[in-house]
Amino acid sequence: MDGADHSFYAQFNKLEKIKHVVVAYDEREAIGCGALKEYAPGIMEVKRMYTLPDSRGKGIATLVLKELENWAFELSYQKCLLETGKRQSEAIGLYQKNGYIVIPNYGQYVGMDNSVCFEKENEIA
**pLDDT at 80 (0 to 100):** 97
**pLDDT at 9 (0 to 100):** 46
Q: Which domains does the chain have, with CATH numbers?
A: 3-121 (3.40.630.30)
- Whole-number Å distance between alpha carbons of 118 and 16: 23
* Whole-structure pTM value: 0.85
**pLDDT at 5 (0 to 100):** 55
CA geometry: angle at 79 spanning 46 and 72, to 5°? Answer: 60
**pLDDT at 123 (0 to 100):** 73
> Which DSSP state fits 6?
H
Q: Dump pLDDT digits (tens) for 66-88.
A: 999 999 999 999 999 999 999 99
Intervals of the chain under pLDDT 70: 1-16, 124-125
**Phi, psi values for residue 121, rounded to 5°:** -80, 150
DSSP secondary structure string for all residues of 14-54: -GGG--EEEEEEETTEEEEEEEEEEEETTEEEEEEEEE-GG
- Whole-number Å distance between alpha carbons of 125 and 109: 27
